[in-house]
Amino acid sequence: MSLEFKNVSHGYGGLEVLKDVRFNAEPGRITVLLGPSGCGKSTLLKLAAGFERPAAGSVCFDERPVTGPGAERGMMFQTPVLFDWLTAAGNVAFGLRQAGVRGKEQQERVDRFMELTGLSDFRDYYPSALSGGMQQRTALARLLVMEPQCLLMDEPFAALDAQLRPKMQSLVLSVWQDLRPTVLFVTHDVEEALVLGHRILVFSKRPGQIVREIEREFEKRDPLEQLMDPDFGKEKRNILEILRDL
């Protein structure tokens, strides 16, 4: 199902943050947003999640205007937002419980995503006792376990080390392969944008507008394999040059 931004403008007080942004995050594809700090990327995701309403224009999911948060659109924030009174496993189970998924099925789904995010040994830890990267992975498990039709991910792997990052990217790709959700993914990392994105939208400085669109291959391979591709460096350089000239 597509997530469409129709002439969206937004700001805070006198600050113009997004200006006439138009694009369609196509159904079942990963659209990556890349752009300078403060250009409005997180703001765009908050509009898609329905936490804020645009000052002008509209955001539609599955052709219906987004008027508030909804379970079909799952969001992962730039800094992990966890319930600090619940354990890691409790956080991952929270949405399932709300959705009426209980008992064995709940347990199995939670276990599966704790395992896939490498958190099995920390399932009974409270967020305050988890490292930043573990908190972020808990938030990832909590998002993926719900199998939303639309994933809104705001720099989810920025705090992860070089070993974990490709693992989590692989996880996102494999979940995408299974369920084909519509994904809107924000990153600062050009390599991550290339590895994950079917389409990369480069934003200008604030007020954010789309200045470039880059199409990537549709069927995604393993992140490390993509990095080894001889053309990868060229594509990375291309994008770095676009960003430099903004």
Closest CA to 86 of 110, 53, 55: 110
Nearer to Mg ion, 78 or 209 (CB): 78
Among 17, 21, 93, 214, binds ligand ATP (CB under 6 A): 17
Spacing of C-alpha 14 from chain mean position: 28
Q: Output the DSSP codes for 36-100.
A: -TTSSHHHHHHHHHTSS--SEEEEEETTEE--S--TTEEEE-SS----TTS-HHHHHHHHHHHTT
Q: Which residues pair with 4 in a beta bridge?
A: 24, 60
Can residue 128 be called a binding residue for ligand ATP (CB under 6 A)? no
Helix (H) or strand (E) holding 136: helix 132-144
CB of 186 to ligand ATP, least distance (A): 7
Can residue 92 be called a binding residue for ligand ATP (CB under 6 A)? no
Nearer to ligand ATP, 39 or 214 (CB): 39
Q: How far is CA 153 from CA 8, 18, 31, 77, 119, in A?
A: 19, 18, 10, 7, 20
Q: How many residues does the chain have?
A: 246
Can residue 79 be called a binding residue for ligand ATP (CB under 6 A)? no
- For residue 224, the partner it binds in Mg ion, ligand ATP, none, with Cβ less than 5 to 8 A by kind, is none
What six digits make up the tokens of 178? 């299974």
Q: How far is CA 64 from CA 4, 43, 122, 222, in A?
A: 9, 20, 40, 34
- For residue 140, the partner it binds in ligand ATP, Mg ion, none, with Cβ less than 5 to 8 A by kind, is none
Q: What is the contact mask toward Mg ion in residues 94 to 133, using x (rule: CB under 5 A)?
A: ----------------------------------------
Can residue 25 be called a binding residue for ligand ATP (CB under 6 A)? no
- For residue 65, the partner it binds in Mg ion, ligand ATP, none, with Cβ less than 5 to 8 A by kind, is none
In angstroms, rounded to a whole number, what is the distance separating the alpha carbons of residues 208 and 186? 14
In angstroms, rounded to a whole number, what is the distance separating the alpha carbons of residues 181 and 30? 8
Q: What is the contact mask toward ligand ATP in residues 200 to 219, using x (rule: CB under 6 A)?
A: ------x-------------
CB of 6 to ligand ATP, least distance (A): 19
Residue type, 85: W
Write out the binding residues for Mg ion, residues 53-82 only, by CB under 5 A: 78
CB of 202 to ligand ATP, least distance (A): 12
CB of 78 to Mg ion, least distance (A): 5
**Interface residues toward Mg ion, by CB under 5 A:** 41-42, 78
Binding site for ligand ATP (CB under 6 A): 12, 15, 17, 37-43, 78, 206
